[in-house]
Amino acid sequence: MRDIILIQVSGGDRPGLTAAFTRILAQFHLNILDMGQAVIHDTLSLGILVEVPPGAEAAPMIKDLLFEAHKLKISVRFQPIDLERYSEWVAGQGKDRYIITLLARKITAEQLSDVTAVVADNALNIDSINRLSGRVQLEPEGDAPAATDQRACIEISVRGEPKDAEAMRAAFLHIANERNVDIAFQKDSAFRRNRRLVVFDMDSTLIESEVIDELAAEAGVGEQVAAITERAMQGELDFNDSFRARVALLKGLDADALHRVQQRIRLTEGAERLIGTLKALGYSTAILSGGFTWFGEYLKARLGINHVYANELEIENGKVTGRVVGQIVNGQRKAELLRAIAEQEGISLEQVIAVGDGANDLPMLSIAGLGIAFRAKPLVKETAKQAISTLGLDGILYLIGVRDRDQAELLSAGLAARENLTAD
């Protein structure tokens, strides 16, 4: 008779533990049907599902494993698995899997409890939980300042099909708002692990400011531009009309003002880390902006962006004319450009990540394989597939499964490559 046994090992971790147990299994010529191991705070949890071949006995193997566990001062348990249950388990392979990613400055028990309750309500089974971020530093006591760039991320792999995917997403969004955590829910497909292009909105996404507001302040028309922006947000003007009206107010602005605004540009938290890591991974990047090419080209040179599409601000005799040249880059145009770049790169839309914060970003967010609302307005956050509000742009790396230690390795490799090019 064929025996199937689940062996569960737990205790203090040390080098050679797994080797000691698998060496015994090898002596009895067992087949490994499944295996998983995790180490949490130097404590090992190891599971091995084995098949004892027909004609062999399990008792001698169990005796040797118990003796080894006693010698190593760890625990071992044995659970027989009947053939019917094992067959059901095998038949379950091929079921859809999803990845739930929690991102925050710190992960709390309340956040995890709420998320796993939603998972349970949707009859999904948790297969694994992994930490993608580095080891979390404790907050300092007393008056010592806390770290401002702390990142925490865990990834939960679940199996099955949600009872109601839309209701599940709504529940996650509610938890995110209540618990100060970002929650991504993605199908664990081959495309998730093989994105090739990331496109960014520029203003209030890749950079912290809205360039047109900065230029308006330089021209002394900040209040007028703000009033037009408010009318557009209320639906009284479409993007093209409001954009033309705002640009018209810049007429006569000295071109030197563009240089002054450029010097004040601050990259969004995590932008350099994200772009550097993406480049090291071989991703292409693009800026698709309703702002101006003058600033997009500056960021292209500074960050190594591959493509820039934005509005060309007309300048004659050193002065802004109050007009733009060519087609305005609005929301629909952003989606068209995303499709064109993907076709140029020879990739599918599923392999594209789009990142933006405003309503005019929704068309490109909706067609990208991974659309991310970054520190976005509530309507955009509710509409987009995923949202990040608690971390910087480098939080996007967690959504494609890149761990902190991977990022450090990739950034180091990228720096070495640039130094070699400079030396040559």
Angstrom distance (rounded) from CA 114 to CA 316: 58
Instruction: Return all residues near 410 (Cβ < 8 A) that are at least 6 apart.
Output: 276, 277, 280, 281, 402
Centre a 10 Å sphere on the Cβ of residue 114 and count the other Cβ atoms it contains: 20
CATH of 197-209+266-412, one of 3.40.50.300, 3.40.50.1000, 3.40.50.2300, 3.30.1490.70: 3.40.50.1000
Instruction: Return all residues near 60 (Cβ < 8 A) that are at least 6 apart.
Output: 28
Question: Tokens 């076709």, residue?
Answer: 343
Question: What six digits make up the tokens of 205?
Answer: 């996404």
pLDDT at 144 (0 to 100) = 56
Which of 253, 199, 201 is CA-nearest to residue 225? 253
pLDDT at 91 (0 to 100) = 82
Active-site residue, selected from the candidate residues 13, 182, 201, 361: 201
Instruction: Return all residues near 218 (Cβ < 8 A) that are at least 6 apart.
Output: 253, 257, 260, 261
| 10-to-26, 55, 58, 72, 74 alpha-carbon distances in Å | 20, 30, 21, 11, 6
pLDDT at 235 (0 to 100) = 61
Q: Over 184-212, what HEC string results?
A: EEEECCCCCCCCCEEEECCECCCECCCHH
Would you say 274 and 414 are in contact if contact means Cβ atoms under 8 Å apart?
Answer: no
The alpha carbons of the chain give a radius of gyration, in whole angstroms, of: 27
pLDDT at 111 (0 to 100) = 96
What is the domain partition of the chain in residue ranges?
3-91, 97-135+149-187, 197-209+266-412
pLDDT in tens, the chain (424 residues): 678 999 999 999 999 999 999 999 999 999 999 999 999 989 999 999 999 988 888 999 999 999 999 999 999 999 999 988 898 888 877 778 999 999 999 999 999 999 999 999 999 999 999 999 988 777 777 665 555 678 999 999 999 999 999 999 999 999 999 999 999 999 998 888 889 999 999 999 999 999 999 999 999 999 999 888 877 766 677 889 899 999 999 999 999 999 999 999 999 999 999 999 999 999 999 999 999 999 999 999 999 999 999 999 999 999 999 999 999 999 999 999 999 999 999 999 999 999 999 889 999 999 999 999 999 988 899 999 999 999 999 999 999 999 998 888 888 876 665 555 555 5
Greatest Cα pair distance, the chain, in angstroms, is 93
3-91 against 197-209+266-412: fold identical: no
CATH architecture of 97-135+149-187: 2-Layer Sandwich (3.30)
Active site residue 203: yes
Active site residue 256: no
CATH architecture of 3-91: 2-Layer Sandwich (3.30)
- Beta strand segments in 317-411, E: 319-325, 352-356, 370-374, 386-388
Active-site residue, selected from the candidate residues 203, 357, 361, 394: 203
